[in-house]
């Protein structure tokens, strides 16, 4: 897919303040600092679109970006940020749950997993929660440039095996590096396919 335009639209504190659900929407979620905002920028071909940071907890609201004037990319705040208080965490959980369960045009979400690590409980728990809520998702293993290809493959395999313990079918998965700009075409191709399905149903 060719990206002709990518524009920031709005940051919303809750799902009911989000823009009109007129277009197909794809949201990016995962542990704080995993690379959500960086990946959005690579997909959109604009390094300044979503705010990134070396310090976890940068993204705080539900951020909508309009791509090609026909679909939305959404940057969400991450989970597992140690410096948040209990009440802030609960606020995050509520905001995310309500957004994920009430947004009618949300086609799928991309759950980002740091490819440098073996399966982490926090990611598995979040994914199992998605299952309970019936939210469709795919997996994106990020920062593939930071370890060897063999290590990345091993961690991806371990993660998928862990999922097989509770999931009958595995979702699509992608491996990305924003440094090498790898994985971009595969994700955009997948979104293009889903956009076509969304329009066929609508």
**What residues numbered 9-28 form the site for ligand GTP, per CB under 6 A?**
none
Segment holding 155, helix H or strand E:
helix 149-164
Does residue 155 bind ligand GTP (CB under 6 A)? no
From candidates 146, 157, 164, 199, binder to ligand GTP by CB under 6 A: 146
Instruction: Single out the residue of 57, 61, 117, 198 in contact with ligand GTP (rule: CB under 6 A).
Output: 57
Q: Which of residues 86-115 bind ligand GTP (CB under 6 A)?
A: none
DSSP 5-53: -EEEEEEESSGGGSPPS-S-EEEEEEBTTSSHHHHHHHHHT-TTSS---
Contact partner at residue 53 from Mg ion, ligand GTP, none, CB < 5 to 8 Å by partner kind: ligand GTP
Assess 37 for contact with Mg ion (CB under 5 A): yes
Torsion angle in degrees (nearest 10) through CA of 53, 38, 122, 162: -150
Element (H, E) at 66: strand 62-67
Question: What does 179 bind: ligand GTP, Mg ion, none (CB cut-off 5 to 8 Å by kind)?
Answer: ligand GTP
Determine which residue in the list 18, 25, 37, 195 makes contact with ligand GTP, applying CB under 6 A. Answer: 37
Q: What is the DSSP letter of 172?
A: P
158 binds ligand GTP per the rule CB under 6 A: no
Pairing relationship of beta strands 6-12 and 71-75 according to DSSP bridges: unpaired
- Least separation in angstroms between residue 53's CB and Mg ion is 7
Residues in contact with ligand GTP by the rule CB under 6 A: 32-38, 52-54, 56-59, 77-78, 142-143, 145-146, 177-179
């Amino acid at each position: 897919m060719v990206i002709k335009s990518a524009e920031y639209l709005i940051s919303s504190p809750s799902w009911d303040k989000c823009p009109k659900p007129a277009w197909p929407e794809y949201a990016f979620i995962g542990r704080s600092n995993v690379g959500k905002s960086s990946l959005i920028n690579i997909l959109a071909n604009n390094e300044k679109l979503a705010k990134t940071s070396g310090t976890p907890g940068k993204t705080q609201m539900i951020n909508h970006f309009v791509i090609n004037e026909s679909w939305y990319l959404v940057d969400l705040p991450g989970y597992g940020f140690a410096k948040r208080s209990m009440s802030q965490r609960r606020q995050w959980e509520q905001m995310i749950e309500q957004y994920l369960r009430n947004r009618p045009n949300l086609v799928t979400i991309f759950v980002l997993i740091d490819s440098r690590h073996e399966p982490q409980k926090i990611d598995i728990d979040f994914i199992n929660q998605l299952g309970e809520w019936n939210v469709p998702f795919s997996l994106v293993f990020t920062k593939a440039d930071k370890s060897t290809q063999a290590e990345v493959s091993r961690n991806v395999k371990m993660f998928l095996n862990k999922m097989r313990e509770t999931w009958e079918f595995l979702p699509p998965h992608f491996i990305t590096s924003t440094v090498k700009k790898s994985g971009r075409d595969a994700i955009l191709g997948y979104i293009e396919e889903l956009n076509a399905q969304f329009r066929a149903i609508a």
